[in-house]
């Protein structure tokens, strides 16, 4: 079972930014980490992931750079910027409020 794409749609950027909060990452690595941390409940499709990367880079929340290909395949890495950290904090606060309201409504 996976979580509905409709439920995730508004949180994709937040999920990705949270993965980048501790360390830079690349697409497949982020996708794999999300799947592992969610016990397979959240699967970020490649198209969704790279569309989100472009959107967040355009908004100044992340930057990207090419990694060293001497360690394997050449990968594009993403890094969270200070505006991205601020956005992540805002989104986490919004999620806490949303969760509180939904718990009240459904609980």
Domains in the chain, CATH or no CATH each? 5-106 (1.10.10.10)
Residue 31 has a pLDDT of: 96
Residue 102 has a pLDDT of: 92
Residue 71 has a pLDDT of: 67
For the cut 90, the answer to whether the pLDDT of residue 70 exceeds it is no
For the cut 90, the answer to whether the pLDDT of residue 1 exceeds it is no
Instruction: Name residue 78's beta-bridge partners.
Output: 25, 64
CB burial of 16-46 (b: ≥16 within 10 Å; e: otherwise) equals: bbbbbeeebbbbeebbeebeeeeeeebebee
The pTM is what? 0.88
What percent of the chain shows pLDDT beyond 90? 81
């Amino acid at each position: 079972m996976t979580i509905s794409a409709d439920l995730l749609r508004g949180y994709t950027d937040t999920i990705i930014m949270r993965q980048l909060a501790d360390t830079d990452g690349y697409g497949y690595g982020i996708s794999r980490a999300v799947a592992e941390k969610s016990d397979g409940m959240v699967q970020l499709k490649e198209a969704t992931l790279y569309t989100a990367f472009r959107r967040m880079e355009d908004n100044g929340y992340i930057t990207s750079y090419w990694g060293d290909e001497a360690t394997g395949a050449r990968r594009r890495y993403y890094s969270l910027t200070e505006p991205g950290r601020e956005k992540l904090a805002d989104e986490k606060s919004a999620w806490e409020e949303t969760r509180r309201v939904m718990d009240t409504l459904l609980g």
